[in-house]
Structure 1
Amino acid sequence: MPTVVDFVNVSTAGLESSPVAEALAGLRANEARYFQNKYGHEFATEPAAKAKQAVAYVAKILKNERDIVIDSKPLEATSFEVEGMRWTYVFYESGLSINVLYTLEPGGKRAVGFKLSDGMEVPAELADKFKFARQKSKLAGTIRGSYFVIKGEY
């Protein structure tokens, strides 16, 4: 059963094994606040072991589009549709968050976003391939992010 992420009282539940659990929880809460404020959507995640389809979907796109395989263990994931867009998120033990935005109508926005929790190093599998911009967040501290546009059909 997915758990709605509370962005007022931030919890590390489900992310405890991460060395940057508090920052990762803040990052997850930051995403929950965004979806609540922009779309009125409750952002809910579940353990990655129960969200195997979402984890596999993200892994497939990364492998097919950029030959990237994430070394870190996935901890939590979610997939949902809002206003004609499919969003899929995976939160990893290293502190990495990956989201896939996939507009369902042809020609719409389709991209993979990477966000690094405050205090984590850039993962080796991403280090030479992407430059990360910094963004401040009250919930997550300093978030470093990057993305790429999806070219294939998924």
Structure 2
Amino acid sequence: MSYAVDFTTVSTVGLESSPVADALAGLRANEARYFKNKYDHVFTVEPASEVPEIVDWVHRILKEERDLVISSRPLEATEFEVDGIRMAYVFYESGLSINVMYTLEEGGKRAVGFKLSDGMDVPEELADKFKFARQKSKLAGTIRGSYFVIKNEY
């Protein structure tokens, strides 16, 4: 069942099993606010088990680009297109959020972003490979983020 993320009243719906559910819900709401304000897009997520093709696409890019396998269980995922950019998000039980920004036009920007919920440790699979910058958010507290550029076609 899909869930339109409300960024005015932050809810942990779908994220309850996460040990950092409140922070992860704030992170998800932060993304929803961004897409609503910038693109007038309603950020809607699905249980990851109902959209395995989205999770598989993100995991394939991680594996083929950087030989990364995320050990945490995916809880929710979404995919949509705005301004010629295919966006995909996966929210994990650990508090990790991964997004893929994939410009459909040849030569456009393509990247994978990682965001860590406030209160979670850096996942072991990312710890030695990425440096995380800090960003303050009214909805999510302190967000730590990193990214890498996608080199191949997906």
TM over 0.5: yes
Q: Residue 80 of structure 1 aligns with which residue?
A: 80
- In 1, the alpha carbon distance for the partners of 2:111 and 2:18 equals 26
The separation in 1 between residues aligned to 2:33 and 2:24, in whole angstroms, is: 14
- Structure 2 Cα separation of the partners of residues 94 and 11 of structure 1: 17
Are 2:99 and 1:109 aligned?
Answer: no
Q: Percent identity?
A: 77
Match of 1:100 in 2: 100
Matches within 5 A, 1:4-19: 4-19=4-19
- Give how far 1:150 is off: 0.0
Cross-structure match for 2:21: 21
AA in 2 matched with 1:152: N
After TM superposition, list the pairs within 5 Å mapping 1:1-154 onto structure 2: 1-154=1-154
SS across alignment from 1:49 = helix
Q: Which AA in structure 2 matches 1:145?
A: G
* Cα distance between partner residues in 1 of 2:69 and 2:106: 27
1:75-131 C-alpha deviation (Å, 9 max, x unpaired):
000000011000000000000000000000010010000000000000000000000
Give the CA RMSD over aligned residues. Answer: 0.4
Post-superposition offset of 1:3: 1.2
Runs of 4+ in 1 over 4 A off after TM superposition: none
Letter of the 1:51 partner, please give it.
V
What is the rounded CA distance, in whole Å, between the counterparts of 1:130 and 1:114 in structure 2? Answer: 9
Q: Alignment length, in residue pairs?
A: 154
Post-superposition Cα deviations, 1:16-47, rounded to whole Å, max 9, x if no partner, equal: 00000000000000000000000000000010
